[in-house]
């Protein structure tokens, strides 16, 4: 459904006192995604994951390359194409506190994409309530401002706004990293549920390889602006080819070995010994599915 070829992007660095120079952030990025697939993008901080996502949703303009969505070239969309892009590709950002306008009520935040798409106003309330219901919120949240809701509720609003136009492709950029551990699990489950219900394709940008292992169909590994490896989840985790992928997988395995596998984690001796330290120091690495979700939720309630 989406084909990206030889995408390049640079930013200018320097300021008025120093000479401006171009810094390459994306270099010859090529990949494709099939319908209903979950592609996870991993890589160290600053390697260009967000910039790549922004080029796909037209928040940044690439220097060169091509982005083709369902046979339409959307690399440099004009006004008409813009509407096609925003109704087909949506992005949810890391931090709902900065992605939602604090001066607007939830109703108005949710109505924005409908207004931009010139949908009939008389249907807004019904559509908004339906989508809120999808993300586990209700009418009582409609007139609130973002600061009156929790971080998890605000991220649900950000997701609801992203899916209100029923996009075929959703890009989730570190959507849980600003949230509490127990809420992280809820948001991931919500995304997986919505993906299934709405038949969406998902690009999931994430640092947490343990989570990637659970949800990805394929994984793209980025380093310094390049995709150094892209393959099925099994290949990436069991036969990583690139040195950097091997390091990421090794680091993840070392950490996984430290996490207890017992069904009843809270009573296991390992939990008592290392659970506390891991929860405090390595928040992003906690398994958030199955027994380990119970483990983290239970810990949070104490
Ligand atoms: N608007 C901008 N102007 C100049 N440089 C930028 C801009 N946006 C991003 N960069 C730089 O581009 C590089 C890639 O940034 P990007 O946010 O895409 O990385 P990332 O892989 O998403 O990082 P993280 O995992 O920390 O979110 C970084 O060096 C960053 O400083």
Encode pLDDT of 143-184 as tens digits: 999 999 998 899 999 999 999 999 999 999 999 888 877 788
The β-bridge partners of 92 are 172
pLDDT at 281 over 80: no
Mutate which of 8, 48, 91, 203 to test ligand 1's pocket (most atoms within 8 Å of Cβ)? 48
281, 176 contact by CB (below 8 A): no
Ligand 1 geometric centre to CA of 51 (Å): 6
CB 171 near ligand 1, within 6 Å: no
Encode pLDDT of 51-62 as tens digits: 999 999 999 999
Residue with more model confidence, 225 or 97: 225
Quickly state the pLDDT bin for 91 (edges 50, 70, 90). Answer: very high
Domains and CATH numbers, the chain: 37-62+71-260 (3.40.50.300)
Q: Select from 166, 175, 209 the least CA-distant residue to 40.
A: 209
Residue nearest to atom 24 of ligand 1 (CA): 45
Quickly state the pLDDT bin for 218 (edges 50, 70, 90). Answer: very high
Residue nearest to atom 30 of ligand 1 (CA): 46
Write the ipTM: 0.96
């Amino acid at each position: 459904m989406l084909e990206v070829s030889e995408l390049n992007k640079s930013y200018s660095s320097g300021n008025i006192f120093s000479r401006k120079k171009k810094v390459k952030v994306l270099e010859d990025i090529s990949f494709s995604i099939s319908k209903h697939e979950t592609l996870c993008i991993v890589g160290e901080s600053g390697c260009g994951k967000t910039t790549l996502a922004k080029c796909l949703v037209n928040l940044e303009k690439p220097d060169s390359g091509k982005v083709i969505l369902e046979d339409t070239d959307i690399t440099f969309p004009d006004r008409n194409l813009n509407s096609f892009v925003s109704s087909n590709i949506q992005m949810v950002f890391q931090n709902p506190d900065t992605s939602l306008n604090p001066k607007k009520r939830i109703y108005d935040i949710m109505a924005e994409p409908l207004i931009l798409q010139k949908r009939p106003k008389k249907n807004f309330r019904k559509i908004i309530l339906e989508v809120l219901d999808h993300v586990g919120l209700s009418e009582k949240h409609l007139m609130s401002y973002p600061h009156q809701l929790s971080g998890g509720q605000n991220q649900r609003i950000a997701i609801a706004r992203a899916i209100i136009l029923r996009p075929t492709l959703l890009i989730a950029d570190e959507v849980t990293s600003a949230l509490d551990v127990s809420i992280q699990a809820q948001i991931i489950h919500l995304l997986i549920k919505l993906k299934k219900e709405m038949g969406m394709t998902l690009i999931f940008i994430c640092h947490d390889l343990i989570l990637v292992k659970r949800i990805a169909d394929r994984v793209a590994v980025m380093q310094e602006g390049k995709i150094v490896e892209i393959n099925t989840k099994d290949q990436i985790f069991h036969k990583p080819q690139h040195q950097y992928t091997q390091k990421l997988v090794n680091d993840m395995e070392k950490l996984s070995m430290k996490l207890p596998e017992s069904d009843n984690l809270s009573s296991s001796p390992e939990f008592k010994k290392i659970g506390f330290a891991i929860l405090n120091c390595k928040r992003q690495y906690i398994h958030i599915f199955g027994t380990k979700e119970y483990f983290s939720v239970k810990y949070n309630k104490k």
